[in-house]
């Protein structure tokens, strides 16, 4: 577990690109109250989904097929995607060219998520998990979608409940702080961003 945590903390060029892209998106933000509030609600939903996922996940120790994993095989990635949509929606608007630019940039990030990031992660993780869990993984994959969730949960027969200790071990609680900071930065962007004041129609 500790070796996995250390590995997850390494800054790769992909993580660096994600951080730089997120900072650029927030720095260029031109929020409007309605879309900001809707985006903030989506970010909260995304964090709740990630909390739910990591409260069940015992990395590399058990093939989890209950809780959120009965709806989608990758609930944490689904949560990350919803958070990206929420942050993007909160950052832009349809009224100004700046807001439209932000949404265009966000759309590019979403394309990169589905076209590069997610497929690459799955192509690397699936063979590793297959070695660990074999037929269990195949059965799960045959009954539960890879990303977009099924409405009714798959009943695998596994008995497993949400664990606050697992949630702590997976270091997910800190993401709530990160999301709150990001939304606060978007809301007050005109105060701190070097790209303001800018005369944008």
Residue 160: CA count within 13 A, CB half-sphere: 23
Q: Is residue 172 part of a domain?
A: yes
- Record the pTM: 0.87
For residue range 19-62, list pLDDT tens digits in order. 888 898 999 999 999 999 999 999 999 999 999 999 999 887 88
Residue 172: the pLDDT is: 86
Q: Tell me how far apart the terminal alpha carbons of the chain are, to the nearest angstrom.
A: 52
Q: Is residue 143 part of a domain?
A: yes
Domain extent for 108: 34-192
Question: Per the structure, how many domains does the chain have?
Answer: 1
Q: Where are the alpha helices (DSSP H) in 57-172?
A: 75-91, 97-112, 118-133, 135-143, 164-169
Q: What CATH number is given to the structural domain containing 178?
A: 1.20.120
Q: Is residue 92 part of a domain?
A: yes
Lowest mean pLDDT among 7-21, 28-42, 172-186: 7-21
Residue 160: the pLDDT is: 85
């Amino acid at each position: 577990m500790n070796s996995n945590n250390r590995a997850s903390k390494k800054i790769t060029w992909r993580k660096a690109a994600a951080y730089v892209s997120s900072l650029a998106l927030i720095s260029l933000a031109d929020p409007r109250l309605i879309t900001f509030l809707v985006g903030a609600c989506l970010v909260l939903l995304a964090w709740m989904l990630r909390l739910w996922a990591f409260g069940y996940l015992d990395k590399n120790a058990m093939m989890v097929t209950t809780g959120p994993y009965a709806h989608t095989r990758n609930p944490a990635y689904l949560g990350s995607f919803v958070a990206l949509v929420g942050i993007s929606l909160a950052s832009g608007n349809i009224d100004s060219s700046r807001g439209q630019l932000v949404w265009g940039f966000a759309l590019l990030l979403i394309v990169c998520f589905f076209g590069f990031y997610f497929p690459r992660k799955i192509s690397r993780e699936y063979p590793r998990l297959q070695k660990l869990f074999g037929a269990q993984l195949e059965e799960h994959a045959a009954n539960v979608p890879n990303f977009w969730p099924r409405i009714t949960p798959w009943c695998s027969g596994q008995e497993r409940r949400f664990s606050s200790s697992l949630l702590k071990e997976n270091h997910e609680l800190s993401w709530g702080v990160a999301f709150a900071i990001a939304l606060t930065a978007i809301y007050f962007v005109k105060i701190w961003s070097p790209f303001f004041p800018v005369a944008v129609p």
